[in-house]
Structure 1
Amino acid sequence: MHIIKLNAIDSTNSYLKGLSTSGILQDYTVVVTREQTRGRGQMGTSWSSESGKNLTFSVYKKISCIRKEEIFCLSMATSLAIVRALKKFNIPRLKIKWPNDILSANQKVCGVLIESIIKKGELDAAVIGMGLNVNQTNFNGLPNAGSLKLITGVTYNLDELMHQIVKELQFIEKLLVERNLEELKSQYEGNLFRLNKPSTFADKEGLLFMGFIEGVSGTGKLIIRQENEVQREYDLKEVKLLY
């Protein structure tokens, strides 16, 4: 693991993607910053945090062992790695809110953004960006946001957390390399928030409906069994699970 530490940067993902185009990067090259001024989330959303209090970093991962249409497998692996790492620090009630938000005690503590690097039409590598709320305690205007310190009262070492997450990602990677994708999917689904529990959803038109999360499809769509027993698959931004 090669670590690049920065005081401030617009986006660790953008910085690492730029490095990847300028030369051959070592697998598990990590860019970590004290302050990310223009952090990005899923589908163009923003991610902001107080300087020096949270863990914002990106990992360069060679990933030619899976096809580009299987990129959600890397999302599942990353989510599981974060959950496994946080369990080592005794963070309670950890769940994965589809597709890859990490919750503790029903509060979002971590977001993930994965960007593919395609070469000659095939998946060559990916940049995995992670934003983990660690020691920040004020989240004005974000009622569902939390942090490790808010939940446990403990102040955490950011470097220790980062090293543990990367270590767990290296462990989970074996399932990708060996193409044991069904086992990966099974472990991911076993950690899904609200799995098989009656839940309220909003579709992209804002209409509410009741249903049960039953898992994910091979391409990462959320499988919901609705009240009429019809099973449907939803892509990102096509459905929202309401708290």
Structure 2
Amino acid sequence: MPIIKLNAIDSTNNYLRKLINEADVADYTVVMTNEQTQGRGQMGTVWSSENGKNLMFSVFKDLNKYDVEFPFYISMAFSLAILKTFKTLNIPDLHIKWPNDILSADKKICGILIENVIKNKLNSTIIGVGINVNQTDFKNLPKASSLKKITGVHYNLDEILQLVINYTKEYSSLLQQGKYELVKNEYETNLFRKNKPSTFKDAEGALFSGFIKGVTKYGKLQVILEDEIVKKFDLKEITLLY
């Protein structure tokens, strides 16, 4: 597993994307950095981190030999790999907040940004990860936490990275074996606020109530509304308030 370590970079996803445009890149190549000046999250949100305290990296996954009909399964598999890493580290009360934030209780400890590379078909994917590890001060971020803040333990970043890659290979293998429902069922089992009364905000800012039922194979969130109708929402259409 090739690992490229950088002191600082605008974005590990950007660095890896440029790399694959210029040369052949080995499967599971990792780019990690101590400081990321333009870290991004879902829908263009900014992800900032104290220098050297957290795990910021991107993984290249070659999909050239595989027919990926539903790319959201990659997101589910990688979310589960991170979740299993945290379970191995005995982080309590873990859930996946749709589509792929990892929470301990109701605090975000990891964000994932997946960018697919398409050349006639889905050719590869770049998985960007930000894990709050040893940072304990999160000014103006009341919903953020870290592994150290939760457990009091100071963690080795390289050891956590190795766990993530090992479990990523494990879940990738399940997809390659065609065990899609197994991955989807495990993902839905760990969904934050599944089957609990929840409040949502739509794209126009209107609030409504419902119960999270699960996800579709296309990655849409299935919500049971008050009239028992199941409605499917895309990422830009709904926000879970918690």
Task: Check whether TM > 0.5.
Answer: yes
Task: Report the counterpart of residue 40 of structure 1 in structure 2.
Answer: 40
Looking at structure 1, the residues matched to 205 and 117 of structure 2 have their Cα atoms a distance apart, in angstroms, of: 34
Contact 1:200-1:211 at 8 Å conserved across structures = yes
Task: Report the counterpart of residue 225 of structure 2 in structure 1.
Answer: 226
- Please state if 1:193 is matched with 2:192: yes
Looking at structure 1, the residues matched to 84 and 91 of structure 2 have their Cα atoms a distance apart, in angstroms, of: 10
- Amino acid of the residue matched to residue 90 of structure 2? N
Structure 1 moving runs of 4+ over 4 Å: none
Correspondence list, 1:127-206, <5 A: 127-206=126-205
Report the secondary structure of 1:59's partner residue.
strand
Report the secondary structure of 1:188's partner residue.
helix
Task: Report the counterpart of residue 71 of structure 1 in structure 2.
Answer: 71
Task: Report the counterpart of residue 5 of structure 1 in structure 2.
Answer: 5
Contact 1:50-1:136 at 8 Å conserved across structures = yes
Contact 1:55-1:131 at 8 Å conserved across structures = yes
- Amino acid of the residue matched to residue 60 of structure 2? Y
Amino-acid identity (%): 57
Report the secondary structure of 1:47's partner residue.
coil
Q: Could you state the TM-score of these two structures normalised by the residue count of structure 2? A: 0.98
Gaps of 5+ in 2: none
Looking at structure 2, the residues matched to 37 and 196 of structure 1 have their Cα atoms a distance apart, in angstroms, of: 38
Looking at structure 1, the residues matched to 24 and 118 of structure 2 have their Cα atoms a distance apart, in angstroms, of: 14
Looking at structure 1, the residues matched to 70 and 115 of structure 2 have their Cα atoms a distance apart, in angstroms, of: 13
Contact 1:105-1:151 at 8 Å conserved across structures = no
Task: Report the counterpart of residue 17 of structure 2 in structure 1.
Answer: 17
Looking at structure 2, the residues matched to 228 and 100 of structure 1 have their Cα atoms a distance apart, in angstroms, of: 28
- Please state if 1:94 is matched with 2:94: yes
Q: Could you state the TM-score of these two structures normalised by the residue count of structure 1? A: 0.97
Task: Report the counterpart of residue 60 of structure 2 in structure 1.
Answer: 60
Cα deviation, residue 106, structure 1: 1.2
Looking at structure 1, the residues matched to 52 and 67 of structure 2 have their Cα atoms a distance apart, in angstroms, of: 35
Task: Report the counterpart of residue 80 of structure 2 in structure 1.
Answer: 80
Cα deviation, residue 237, structure 1: 2.1
Looking at structure 2, the residues matched to 55 and 241 of structure 1 have their Cα atoms a distance apart, in angstroms, of: 26
Report the secondary structure of 1:52's partner residue.
coil
Task: Report the counterpart of residue 237 of structure 1 in structure 2.
Answer: 236
Cα deviation, residue 66, structure 1: 3.7
Looking at structure 2, the residues matched to 20 and 190 of structure 1 have their Cα atoms a distance apart, in angstroms, of: 35
Contact 1:56-1:131 at 8 Å conserved across structures = yes
RMSD between aligned alpha carbons?
0.9
Report the secondary structure of 2:236's partner residue.
coil
- Please state if 1:213 is matched with 2:212: yes
Looking at structure 2, the residues matched to 76 and 62 of structure 1 have their Cα atoms a distance apart, in angstroms, of: 17
Looking at structure 2, the residues matched to 9 and 242 of structure 1 have their Cα atoms a distance apart, in angstroms, of: 33
Q: Deviations over 1:29-64 (max 9, x none)?
A: 000001011001111111110000000000000124
Looking at structure 1, the residues matched to 204 and 139 of structure 2 have their Cα atoms a distance apart, in angstroms, of: 27
Task: Report the counterpart of residue 106 of structure 1 in structure 2.
Answer: 106
Report the secondary structure of 2:90's partner residue.
coil
Cα deviation, residue 141, structure 1: 1.1
Looking at structure 2, the residues matched to 227 and 147 of structure 1 have their Cα atoms a distance apart, in angstroms, of: 35
Looking at structure 1, the residues matched to 124 and 142 of structure 2 have their Cα atoms a distance apart, in angstroms, of: 35
Report the secondary structure of 2:200's partner residue.
strand
Looking at structure 2, the residues matched to 205 and 151 of structure 1 have their Cα atoms a distance apart, in angstroms, of: 35
Looking at structure 2, the residues matched to 143 and 45 of structure 1 have their Cα atoms a distance apart, in angstroms, of: 16
Looking at structure 2, the residues matched to 118 and 204 of structure 1 have their Cα atoms a distance apart, in angstroms, of: 28
